[in-house]
């Protein structure tokens, strides 16, 4: 079941990190997205602050066709791109995979073309998250 959060959507996924990461990549690909950035926050916190942090990876995902449409409709839209997803370890085991809710994220932009794109993006990310369950 997808959990609606304040500005995101989340699902719980079992398995080891490598298999969950692979499933997320496949799920995104199936709905037209690709991962263009990947940030290992655990490693970053260790290197920069010498702090132990739980496994937490931020993925920047992009749907090229939708991204082009958004850029053509709203020049500053790049400030909120790409669409971020997170794979985070749960204290009791398993993983939470969450994705930005594009409708919430882009709700302050008064451009109907952007609102239509946000609805499309949200629908695709919901499909990807549902496929992980």
Model pLDDT for residues 47-91, shown as the tens digit of each residue: 999 999 999 999 999 999 999 999 999 999 999 999 999 999 999
What's the pLDDT score for residue 41?
Answer: 98
pLDDT at 109: 96
Q: Which of 57, 54, 72 is nearest to 20 (CA)?
A: 57
Q: Which stretch of DSSP H or E encloses residue 105?
A: helix 102-105
Strands 34-40 and 8-13: unpaired
pLDDT in tens, 85-110: 999 999 999 999 999 999 999 999 99
Q: How far apart are the first and last CA of the chain?
A: 8
Band (pLDDT 50/70/90 cuts) for residue 111 is very high
The per-residue pLDDT for 86 is 98
User: What is the rounded distance in angstroms from the CA atom of residue 133 to the CA atom of residue 124?
Assistant: 15
Query: What is the pLDDT at residue 79?
Result: 96
Range of the domain at 76: 3-131
Average pLDDT for 120-125: 98
- Residue 83 has a pLDDT of 97
116/11 Cα distance (integer angstroms): 24
Please tell me the total count of domains within the chain. 1
For residue range 13-37, what is the model confidence (pLDDT) as tens digits?
A: 999 999 999 999 999 999 999 999 9
Domain of 108, CATH number, reads 3.30.310.70
pLDDT bucket at 113, cuts 50 / 70 / 90: very high
What pLDDT shows up at residue 69? Answer: 98
């Amino acid at each position: 079941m997808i959990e609606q959060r304040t500005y995101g959507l989340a699902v719980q996924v079992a398995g080891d990190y490598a298999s969950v990461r692979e499933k997320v990549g496949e799920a995104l690909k199936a709905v037209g997205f690709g991962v263009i950035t990947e940030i290992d926050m655990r490693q970053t916190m260790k290197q920069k602050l010498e702090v132990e942090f739980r496994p937490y990876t931020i993925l920047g995902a992009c749907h090229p066709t939708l991204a082009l449409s958004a850029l053509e409709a709203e020049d500053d839209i790049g400030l909120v791109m790409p669409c971020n997803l997170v794979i985070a370890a749960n204290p009791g085991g398993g993983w939470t995979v969450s994705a930005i809710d594009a409708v919430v994220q882009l709700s302050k932009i008064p451009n109907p073309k952007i609102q239509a794109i946000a609805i499309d993006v949200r629908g695709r990310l919901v499909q990807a998250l549902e496929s992980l369950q």
